[in-house]
Amino acid sequence: MTNRARSSTRRDPGRAVLLGVLLLAACSGGRGAPPAAPTPAAGPRVALPSGAVFSLELARTPEEIAQGLMFRESLAPSSGMVFLFDAPEPRSFWMKNCHFPLDMVFALADGTVVDVLENVPPCEADPCPSYPARAPADTVVELAGGEAGRHGVVPGARLSFLSVPGR
């Protein structure tokens, strides 16, 4: 505090009280007011049956679908990739050039889960095996291995897609 500020509070006791009240309010940490709810991330997301919300990268074009999560070392926490197709068909994915296990969640556009393949291992040698779904799907969500089980993602469960085109 400068000398001028000190001298002005000595001359005006009301100002000193006001300053004290403001400092006390600032240091109270907002007690009495409810904590602000976290703002959900923008962009494509999926709400899992547990209520957890994961950010999604979109794979829509043939090139994006072919690339998928290849050549990545990991996924960021609470994130994944969604593959979007025009119609439900038998789908099969592989793990070529993927460096970590994935959960593959096969679903319909309305979010109904039709199959879940958990902890699918990376491909270690060519030819890489394919991992087919047990039912037709038009949407596939890939999450880090173990996330589907942790969040109650099972066949028949419902996913809620947020800001995902056509879902």
Kindly report, residue by residue over 85-103, the tens digit of the pLDDT: 999 999 999 999 999 999 9
The strand pairing partners of 93, in sequence order, are 131
**Cα distances (angstroms) measured from residue 19 to each of 5, 9, 15, 59, 89:** 11, 9, 6, 56, 69
113-160 confidence digits (pLDDT tens):
999 999 999 999 999 999 999 999 999 999 999 999 999 999 999 999
Q: Which domains does the chain have, with CATH numbers?
A: 1-34 (no CATH), 45-162 (2.60.120.1140)
- pLDDT attached to residue 125: 94
Query: pTM to 2 decimals?
Result: 0.76
- Of 146, 141, 131, 154, the closest CA to residue 55 belongs to 141
Q: Are 79 and 87 in contact (CB under 8 A)?
A: no
Mean pLDDT, the chain, whole residue set: 84
- pLDDT attached to residue 12: 54
Is the pLDDT assigned to residue 5 strictly greater than 60?
A: no
Q: How confident is the model at residue 32 (pLDDT cuts 50, 70, 90)?
A: very low
